Structure formats: C-alpha cells, structure tokens
Chain A
Amino acid sequence: MKKNLPIVFVCVLLFALFAVVQVGLSSGFISSYWETNIYLIGINIILAASLNLINGITGEFSLGHAGFMAVGAFAGGVITLNLGLPFLLAIVVGMLAAALAGLLVGLPTLRLRGDYLAIATLGFGEIVRVVMMNIDYVGGAAGLMGIPAVVNWPIIFISVVFTILLIRNFICSSHGRSCLALRENDTAAQMMGINITYYKVMAFVIGAALAGLAGVLYAHYYTIIQPKEFNFLLTFDILVMVMVGGLGSLTGSVVGAVLITVASAFLQSIPELRMVIYAALLIASAVFRPQGLLGAKEVSMNLLRKWGGVLNGSDGSKQAQ
C-alpha cells in the first residue's frame, strides 16, 4: 500500500498554488492570454480525468466525451442565458443533464464489446451535435451567444480539485475496485459476483457528469458555444491527453492535460503540424508505452521518496514530514 502525503502539507500547497495564481492574475503579471490558457488547462484536466475514469479505470472505450461536454455546456447555457438563473444551478443542471445522457447512452451500449462501444459512442457524439443544431431553443447551428462570463480562477480551481477528489475517492472505494476488476478481466469479475453492467454504467455516468461540468465551465468562460465545436476532434484531443499521461493514471491525466494544453499554445505558429504531431504522439504512446508517461502510477509518498534521492534537498525535507 502506498503511503500518502500528510493532508496539511497538501492543503498548504494547494492554497499556495491558488494564491500565487490569484495574485498573478490580479496584479497583471499573468497576461490575459496565459490566463485563458490556465483556465483551459483546468477544463482539460477535468475532461481528461473523467475520460480516464471511463477508458482507463473501467477499461471501456468511449469516444463520446465531446458529446457529453456539449450536453453540459448547452444545458448550463440555457439555465443562465435563456432562463436567467444562477450559475451554481447551471453547474448542477449541466452535470445532471450530462449524467442522464450518459445513462441513456450507457445502458444499451455498455453491453457492447470495447471496440463496438467506441464506434457507438462516437455515433452518439455525432447525434448530439445534429440534435443540438436542430433545436432552436438552444440557438440551432449558431449556438448560444452572450452566456454570462462568470467563470474565474476560484471556480476553475475548485472544480478541478473537486473532480480529482471525486475520481480519486471513487477509485479507492469498493466501487472503484470493482471497476478495476472489470478492466482486468470482466468474465472473471462477473464470476466473483460483480454486477458488471452496474459498475460500467456507474463509472460511465460519473465520467459523463464531469464532462458536463467541464462543458458548463467552458460555456461560461468563452460565452459562445456552437454545436459544431463539440466534434470528434475535441474528443480526440482529450484522448491524446489521457494516453500521453497514462491510461489508468489520474496523475497522468493531469500531467497529460497540462502538457498538451501548453504544447498546443506553443504550436500555435505551426498549426498544420499540430495535428500531425498529436496523431504521431497517440500512435507512439499506444505502441511503445501503452501505459503512458506515468503508467498507472500515482504520485505518492513512496514515489516522492524515490525522487528525493535523485532531486535536491527540498524533497528530502518533504520526506521528513
């Protein structure tokens, strides 16, 4: 069993991070361009971590993440823009709507084998796009415009921490253990008395709800959402983050999301090559390191101790706690 870091230490670090960015933003040290990227990193962490819950932890293969995100974004947008209700309600409704979509999609399709599920969920993503385009209430193809821009750093920060805590706790709970068992061998898991459909759907619904959360944040940061944005390429971007970080590793998803978002910002000047590089990364990570940068490893006390030997003394002092 891994030994974890002391909670006080983590809280202090989290608070320090929060404060540093907050001060950076309000003092103007962080330019608005990078402010956007920091928010995008946050949203991408939520997306990558929640896709990882489905693809990495449960061992299913969903390609419908952009669809769930769209459901959340539009549901949230309707709440604040069309109905003028508070943002907090938008988050709740967005997550619930996405969870419901996850349930509707998950119940029939999760009985399918991995690669069929991939195509079925991909199809779901397309269907969501087409349906949104045909609903005038959510703006049709033009989408929603003028959604209140209420998302700020504290909201992003809290959402990211909430997402990671939720998934982390899920994995460590008995539900999560069941999901891991499914991933390793679903027939064996079934024989051990695990209700496979129940757990698959459960993980799928939680993942969808979190994608919905990301959608609500996205909608209330960019203030304009169009159905065509939530296409397969968006799911592909998230998949790259998950794969580069490591299928099954939550830490990996965070690292993957940060790396890919920052890389994307730097690849701005060579956009034609960006997708080529992503695709090559995806192939390379699947072929040479299916376990990703971090594999299924998580950052824990043990790992830090190992690093401590290599790195300088500051890590040593962390060990002392």
Chain B
Amino acid sequence: MNFRGKKGKPVALLTVLVFVLGIFAAGCGGGTEESSADGDTIKVGVNLELSGEVATYGTGIKNGAELAFEEINADGGVLGKEIEVLVQDNKSQNREARNIAEKLIGEGVVAVIGPATSGNVQAEVPVLTDAKIPVIAPAATAPEVTYDEKTDTVKEYVFRVCFIDPDQSQVMAQYILDELGLKKGAMMVNKEDEYSIGLGNAFKEFFTTNGGEIVAEEGFITSDTAFKSQLTSISSKNPEFIYVPTYYKQVGLIIKQARELGIELPMMGADGWDSPKLVSIAGAESLQDCYFTNHYSIEDPAEHIQSFVKAYDEKYGATPDSFAALGYDAGYLLAEAIEQAGSADPEKIQEALANIKDFEGISGEMAIDEKHFTVKDLSIIKLVDGQQTLINKLKPER
C-alpha cells in the first residue's frame, strides 16, 4: 500500500469538524444527572422491548408494571413519595438496552425494571452495576443473568421475579415421566434463541438422567414458517411426545402443521406458549393434549389473582399474559423493597431485595436465594380445545 500522507488530510479535517459537532450535541444532551431520592418523587426506570422482534413481551411487562405503579401511587406511594416511571424502548437490541440503561442512570433512577429477554438484561447489567443501581428482570429466565457458574460469582445488583429455565424443564420432565408415564421424547428447538436452547438442553439432561430417552432432536430458526420436514423426520422415529420449548409464534405453526400431518402426539412446552395468539394460529381443534409450564394461570381462583385479572382488563381491555403478571409483580416487588429499605437509596434497595423471603405476587409466593434465583411454584397448564386448565403447581427441586 502506498501511504502518501498528504492525501489524507481533507477527509481527516472533516472527521474533526463532524466530531466536534457531535460533541456539541453531546454536551447539550447530557448533564441532567441528579439524585431523585431527595426529590418529591422516586424515579424508576423501565427498559423494555417495545418495538422490534420481541415487542409483545416488553409491552406485556410495561402494561403490568404501569398498572402496579398506578395502584401503588393511588395508595399514597412509597415512603410517602410518588413513584415516577420512566419507560424507554430498547428496540429488542442489546446495544440499545445498554444505551437506555445509561440514559436512565443519567435521569437519576433508583432502580431499573427490565428488559424482558435474558440477552438484553445481560447487556445492561455491567453499566448498572458500575452505577450501583439494582435491576429487576421480570422475565429473564436464563440462570446466568444473576449467577455466573464459570466464575461462581453472583451478580449482586440483578434480581428477578420469574423462575429460571432449568426449573421449567425439570418440572416438565418430572411431570412427563411420573404423571404421564412417557419415556420416549422428541425435541424441536429454536437454535437461534438462547431461551429455547437453554430449556432444551436442561430438559434433555433431566429427562435422560431420570430414565427417559430423547429419540429425535430437530432445530429451526426464528424466521422459519415451514416445519413439516422436521416433523416428518421426528415422526419417523416414533416418539411418544414432542417437547417444543419456544415462543407461541412458532409453537402455533408447529402444532398446526403436526396435526395436519396426522401427528397426534402430546406436545409439551414452556412459558413462551402463553398467548391468546397460540389458539388463533394453531386453531382450537389442534390444541389437544398439550401441556406447558407457566408462571401463573388466569384460571387460578385465588382472590388476588382474579382481582389483578379484573383490574388489568378494566385498564387495557385484554387478558393479562404471563409477561403482564411478571411486570406487575416486578413493580410491587420494587415497592416492597423500597418500603423495607426505608429509603430510596439504590444501594439500600439492593440490600432489601437480596433479603426478600416471602413476597406474595400474582405469579406465586417467592423468595430470592443466595444466587439471586427466585424460588417459587410453577404452574402446569393443559390445553384442551385451546382452553387452558391449571393441572398442578409444583416446586422444583434445586
């Protein structure tokens, strides 16, 4: 390469000019940092996927959390102060999740709720941990969100209200082996999605170590819509059920296409199934003999659950899905922690959260253990003609 330095200058000059402009913009944008703990309100950041790939999860959480804070404020707030909620959209992207976290720190929030997915939570954690601001992840089910197994370190500032993935797989594997008495399974996993992969791996481990056998394993990616090839291949191995730990978009298509191919096997899954859309995609008649683990069931007759379902329906005119319930619980959990801390100081809130032992949420009674895993019951839900029935509530062994 021929370096003739002089030729480089004009462009370099422009770089300079433009960078300078950029920095002026930077100067204007920043610098609004103030601690809100001393003000009249307590600022809480909400960093969610409101657009992009997984916008529906973020939207559910946002609705739930906003409902919770509305109720809390109507009851006189926390420590006599009103909670001010700052909702931001991270476009379902890691880098945006991190940018938003930085923006929220600049706004002086005392805690952050969200994002929905494990990957996006992990993207924001380093920034918030540096700033010593606690995070409540409503739906991040990957274990490593709060605990790094490789280095045996707990991420001190991260908490969650949901259970972790191995719990779901374990409960489902046990239910299949003990209650349904099935031994030969097949799996269909979204290889592009760590949620699906995590569940699949954990299920396989529990199921095979407890006497089961996985006879077929197929993968797909998020943009796929045609699954008949994989299903034909699975069906030729004669499994007794198919475990499909992924989100309702694909689950609906997979079950529909399986039934079209005449595969009437039981289908099993996890909390990603929970959406009214599942029924409209697959059709009620396809959803027979399907089971999934979930955070809660709207069928649960408990009074606090039913009053939540009612309040949600009044505000949004819809049935709350799991994400909404988890968002709601995240809101109340934070309020409880601030109350117990007796202060809106982020570090005190962190201590209070770490000591939560019997918080009664919509998604069950929960305690936070030393790895910041949430200990709580799981619901097993059966679908008959597309209708959800609560079969059982189980506590996973850990």
Contacts and interface: CB of A to CB of B under 8 A. Distances in A.
B19 A2 contact: no
Contacts, number: 192
B12 interface: yes
A30 B11 contact: no
Given A271-B91, A298-B11, A7 B6 contact: yes
Contacts of B12: 10, 14, 161, 164-165, 168
B139 to A, nearest CB: 17
A21 to B, nearest CB: 6
A209 to B, nearest CB: 12
A169 B50 contact: no
B15 A164 contact: yes
B2 A145 contact: no
Interface in A4-45: 4-7, 9-10, 13-14, 16-17, 20-21, 24, 29-38, 40-41, 45
Interface in A83-127: none
A216 to B, nearest CB: 15
B7 A29 contact: no
A168 B16 contact: no
Contacts of B31: 29, 31
A298 B103 CA distance: 35
Interface in B13-65: 13-23, 25-27, 29-33, 50-52
A320 B3 CA distance: 27
A300 interface: yes
B311 interface: no
A5 B99 contact: no
Given A32-B106, A149-B126, A222-B123, A254 B3 contact: no
Nearest to A140: B197
Contact of B23 (A24, A134, A172, A226): A24
Contacts of B222: 228
B192 interface: yes
A172 B191 CA distance: 46
Contacts of B103: 33, 268
B337 to A, nearest CB: 25
Contacts of B23: 17, 20-21, 24, 30, 38
Contacts of A143: 119
A296 interface: no
A38 B123 contact: no
Contacts of A75: none
Counting contact residues on chain A (CB < 8 A from B), the size range is 35 or more
Contact of B27 (A6, A30, A165): A30
A38 B191 contact: no
A40 to B, nearest CB: 8
A6, A33, A35, A299 pick with most chain B CB within 10 angstroms: A33
B22 A141 contact: no
Contact of B122 (A16, A40, A145, A228): A145
Given A24-B23, A30-B23, A166-B1, A226 B14 contact: no
B192 A10 contact: no
Given A20-B20, A251-B10, A268-B88, A30 B4 contact: no
A187 B91 CA distance: 45
B104 to A, nearest CB: 9
A285 interface: no
A31 B9 CA distance: 30
A36 B1 contact: no
Contacts of B99: 33, 36-37, 265
A160 interface: yes
A278 interface: no
Contact of B8 (A130, A142, A168, A229): A168
A255 interface: yes
A195 interface: no
B88 to A, nearest CB: 7
Contact of A224 (B4, B29, B123): B123
B16 A258 contact: no
Contacts of A142: 119, 194, 197-198
B193 A33 contact: no
B235 to A, nearest CB: 24
Interface string A128-142: 001001100000111
Contacts of A134: 191
B105 A169 contact: no
A64 to B, nearest CB: 18
Interface string B116-148: 000100110011000000000000000010001
Given A5-B13, A24-B23, A271-B52, 6 more contacts: A32-B106, A40-B95, A141-B192, A161-B15, A223-B126, A298-B14
Closest 9 CB pairs of A and B: A31-B30, A34-B26, A142-B194, A33-B102, A271-B51, A165-B8, A10-B9, A299-B14, A300-B10
10 contacts: A17-B23, A21-B19, A38-B19, A38-B23, A142-B119, A143-B119, A145-B144, A169-B7, A268-B89, A268-B100
